[in-house]
Amino acid sequence: MITIQEIKEKFVALSATDQTMLLDELLLEHELQGKVLDSAYEQLAIKRQKKPCPHCHSVKVYKRGRQKGVQMYQCNTCSKWYSETTGTPLYDIKLKNKWQSYLSCMEQGMPIKKIAKELGISIQTSFDWRQKILSSLGQFVPEQLSGTVECDELELALSNKGERGLGRKPRKRGSDHQRNSTEQKVTTVQVLTAVSRSGEKYLKAVESKRLSKDQIAKALDGKLADGTVLITDKHPSYKAYAKAKPTIKHRALLTKTHVDPKDKSVHLQRVNNTHSQLRKFLSPFNGVSTK
């Protein structure tokens, strides 16, 4: 019988192209057997013996059998039924063998229609699955950032893609937005980004030509722990915000210097890298609806 070590040795001997093809085939076989979701269900079951009610958050619940292999519950407090996967992207997924492939396509930045064609599913299913995934990302947003936190904003064009009745003349191209235009309507979106040195990230989109103190306060409300060192550029709105927050320490530097010459630990390299990754991710979509 061939051993795992022998398999590894044979795999390493293959070319990079053959290795990729083999991994893709093995992944497909894995998906067709339904093992990906089965493993996810098992992890959910191990994580919590009884899932609290997602409707009233009561822990007084009891099991009510299984439907299609998924554990069902009923709440003693509100009497509502729910499943182990309620509130997760796995809820009500019927085409289980295509779920992992969909995640791979989405990670590559493929649009909804292209994914639908690639996997042989309807455009509506492709759209619904994307919404399930996006709506679940909120649970990964950190409640608070602490330690040293870099903060800056990324400016993007306000996109009304897919909307009717714009109330303005259409742009000839996506880059035709002007921050300081004479129009009264906002044409830009500021993505306020806070990144801690430990790697936790918080992003909040704000429709604005220029960030104000109140907008920063609203976006960061409760997100910075007491004693946090906040590093920003010398935008006056950040200075005004920090002045109103005596529990945090504010350090500012000129944007063009990148690093404070007096203290090399004061920089915005992490948040700038996050902005670079975001721009790179959004680029293939040729414009993403702001909503």
Between strands 81-83 and 148-157, the pairing is unpaired
Q: Where are the domains of the chain?
A: 4-140, 148-163+176-285
Q: What angle do CA 243, 202, 205 make, to 5 degrees?
A: 85
Q: For domain 148-163+176-285, which architecture applies? A: 2-Layer Sandwich (3.30)
Convert the pLDDT of each residue in 38-56 to its tens digit. 566 565 555 556 677 877 8
CA separation, residue 184 to residues 54, 83, 102, 171, 208 (Å): 43, 49, 41, 16, 11
Convert the pLDDT of each residue in 186-243 to its tens digit. 678 888 999 999 888 999 888 877 788 899 988 888 888 889 999 998 889 999 998 9
Sign of CA dihedral 6, 12, 13, 18: positive
Max Cα-Cα span within the chain: 76
Give phi and psi for 201, each to the nearest 5. -130, 145
Compute the mean pLDDT over every residue in the chain, rounded to the nearest whole number: 78
Q: Rounded to two decimals, what is the model's pTM?
A: 0.63
Which helix (DSSP H) or strand (DSSP E) does residue 186 occupy? none
CA separation, residue 29 to residues 26, 117, 277 (Å): 5, 20, 32
Is 137 a residue whose pLDDT tops 60? yes
Convert the pLDDT of each residue in 81-127 to its tens digit. 777 666 665 666 666 667 778 888 887 878 888 989 988 888 988 88
* pLDDT value, residue 249: 92
Residue 64, CA atoms < 13 Å, CB-side half-sphere: 12
